[in-house]
């Protein structure tokens, strides 16, 4: 990645974080922690890696797809989609309000640019497997991306999906784990540990890549590039494990650990967040 890209992503991720906080502050509370931990991952995918995206034709045949299996990160996608021109910027402050196009959890029937409905943890990755299988059967060349939570990975459905994706040789499926080590009511290890997560995915016959800093856009881009090439070469689905920080970039969220999963955001806190992201 060139220095120009690095500067672009640094600025873009600040913009996305500000829009996330604007939406959540406008309704007074939301999933701050898990929305902030996946900003870099989704930004690299949506602004650089994904192909055949067109805001004027969000359902174009053969486009790459992105499933937010941790569907509570809807506000991160809405910030990106508004910035990319999929819908008017003033929708951001309608987040989760009556008759909104932007429910807190992603819904493909409400929001242009959302490829799959999610929110019941575990289902999104299973749907991503179906999309990847469909794309493979059609031979349309699409890559299917999917973001999974680490707490979400305690769901049995994730591992059924993992099994079938490898059994059907879905080399066009690239998933990412937002490994922020925290879930809704404690650390992932306290609730039901995933360690060793890389060995688990490898044993399901996936390509596995680990990104030491899941907020470094260079590292994310390299991992996605490697995953895409590996999937083409060996027909295996890929998992990219991103070591991230829940609440990244907003101190009052980061500091409280798992408690930042879903929090109130006052107008004063919103102002503080804007200053930190300036």
- Closest CB to Mg ion among 150 and 254? 150
Q: Could you tell which of Mg ion, ligand TPP, none binds residue 121, using a CB distance below 5 to 8 A set by kind?
A: ligand TPP
Q: Report the residue from 150, 155, 221, 254 that binds Mg ion according to the rule CB under 5 A.
A: 150
- Tell me how far, at minimum, the Cβ of 191 lies from Mg ion, in Å: 10
Q: Could you tell which of ligand TPP, Mg ion, none binds residue 40, using a CB distance below 5 to 8 A set by kind?
A: none
- Angle, helix 3-27 to helix 74-83, in steps of 10 degrees: 120
Cβ–Cβ < 8 Å for 110, 141: no
- Tell me how far, at minimum, the Cβ of 181 lies from ligand TPP, in Å: 8
Q: Are strands 65-68 and 238-243 parallel, antiparallel or unpaired?
A: unpaired
Q: Could you tell which of Mg ion, ligand TPP, none binds residue 120, using a CB distance below 5 to 8 A set by kind?
A: ligand TPP
Cβ–Cβ < 8 Å for 74, 87: no
Q: Which stretch binds Mg ion (CB under 5 A): 91-99, 141-149, 206-214, 267-275?
A: 141-149
Q: Could you tell which of Mg ion, ligand TPP, none binds residue 111, using a CB distance below 5 to 8 A set by kind?
A: none
Kindly state the tokens that stand for 76: 């991160």
Q: Is 207 in the site for Mg ion (CB under 5 A)?
A: no
- Closest CB to ligand TPP among 94 and 180? 180
- 67 Cβ contact partners less than 8 Å away, ≥ 6 residues apart: 115, 116, 118, 124, 125, 127, 128, 131, 144, 145, 146, 147
Instruction: Count the helix, strand and coil residues of the chain and give each as a percent rounded to the nearest 5.
Output: 50, 10, 40
- Closest CB to ligand TPP among 30 and 122? 122
Residue with tokens 């672009």: 8
Q: Could you tell which of ligand TPP, Mg ion, none binds residue 274, using a CB distance below 5 to 8 A set by kind?
A: none
Q: Which helix (H) or strand (E) holds 60?
A: none
- Closest CB to Mg ion among 143 and 244? 244
- Angle, helix 267-276 to helix 3-27, in steps of 10 degrees: 180
- Closest CB to ligand TPP among 30 and 151? 151
Q: Report the residue from 69, 180, 207, 244 that binds Mg ion according to the rule CB under 5 A.
A: 180
Q: Which residues of the shown chain bind ligand TPP in the complex (CB under 6 A)?
A: 33-34, 37, 70, 72, 119-122, 149-152, 178, 180, 182-184, 246, 261
DSSP for residue 47:
I
- Closest CB to Mg ion among 151 and 247? 151
Rounded Cα distance between 271 and 265, Å, is 10
Collapse the DSSP code of 99 into the 3-class scheme (helix H, G, I; strand E, B; otherwise coil) and give the result. coil
Interface positions with Mg ion (CB under 5 A): 149-151, 180, 182-183
């Amino acid at each position: 990645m060139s220095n120009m890209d690095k500067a672009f992503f640094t600025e873009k991720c600040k913009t996305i974080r500000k829009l996330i906080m604007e939406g959540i502050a406008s309704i007074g509370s939301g999933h701050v922690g898990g929305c902030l931990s996946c900003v870099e991952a989704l930004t690299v995918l949506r602004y650089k890696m994904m192909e055949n995206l067109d805001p004027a034709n969000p359902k174009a045949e053969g486009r790459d797809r992105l499933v937010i299996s941790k569907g509570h990160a809807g506000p991160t996608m809405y910030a990106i989609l508004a910035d990319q021109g999929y819908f008017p910027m003033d929708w951001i402050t309608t987040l989760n309000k009556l008759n909104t196009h932007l429910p807190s959890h992603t819904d493909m029937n409400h929001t242009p640019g959302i490829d799959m409905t999610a929110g019941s943890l575990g289902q999104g990755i299973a749907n991503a497997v179906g999309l990847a299988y469909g794309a493979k059967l059609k031979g349309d060349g699409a890559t299917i991306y999917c973001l999974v939570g680490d707490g979400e990975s305690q769901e049995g459905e994730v591992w059924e999906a993992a099994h079938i994706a490898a059994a059907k040789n879905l080399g066009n499926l690239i998933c990412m784990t937002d490994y922020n080590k925290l879930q809704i009511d404690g650390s992932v290890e306290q609730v039901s540990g995933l360690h060793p997560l890389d060995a688990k995915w490898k044993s399901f016959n996936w390509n596995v890549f680990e990104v030491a800093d899941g907020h470094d856009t260079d590292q994310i881009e390299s991992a996605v590039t490697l995953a895409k090439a590996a999937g083409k070469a060996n027909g295996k689905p890929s998992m990219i494990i991103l070591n991230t920080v829940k609440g990244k970039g907003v101190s009052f969220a980061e500091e409280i650990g798992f408690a930042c999963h879903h929090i109130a955001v006052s107008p004063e806190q919103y102002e503080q967040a804007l200053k930190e992201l300036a």
